[in-house]
Amino acid sequence: MEITFGASFWLSFLFSLVGMGYFMYGKKASEMEFLFAGIGLMVYPYFVSSTAVMGLVGVGLAGAPFLLKRFS
């Protein structure tokens, strides 16, 4: 059995890593936008199998805290 590390794996790894950073920052700075976006970035790759959808959702979740801060 051969294990392959395709684009889906690397995208989930990248967005989970960014999510961990958002979560740690949100917890330390009491920024709820970053805290919840971090949780979302770490969890959503388990439920999305399409690489394109994974990329779009990840970019949206990664940018959401900045948009929420700017327009609220």
Give the model's pLDDT for residue 5. Answer: 81
The Cα diameter of the chain in Å comes to: 51
Give the model's pLDDT for residue 49. Answer: 86
Residue 58 lies in a domain: yes
Using one digit for the tens of pLDDT, what is the confidence trace for 46-61? Answer: 999 899 999 999 999 9
Q: Answer left, alpha or beta for residue 20, where phi above 0 means left and psi between -120 and 50 means alpha.
A: alpha
Residue 29 lies in a domain: yes
Domain ranges, residue 54: 7-71
Split into its structural domains, the chain has a count of 1
Type of residue numbered 41: L
**pLDDT: is 29 or 2 the higher one?**
29
Residue 62 lies in a domain: yes
Please give the C-alpha separations between residue 4 and each of 7, 8, 9, 64, in angstroms, as whole numbers: 10, 10, 9, 31
Residue 1 lies in a domain: no
Does the pTM exceed 0.85? yes
Using one digit for the tens of pLDDT, what is the confidence trace for 8-49? Answer: 899 999 999 999 999 999 999 999 999 999 999 999 999 998
Give the model's pLDDT for residue 1. Answer: 67
Residue 26 lies in a domain: yes
Sequence-separated (6 or more) residues with CB below 8 Å from residue 47: none
Residue 27 lies in a domain: yes
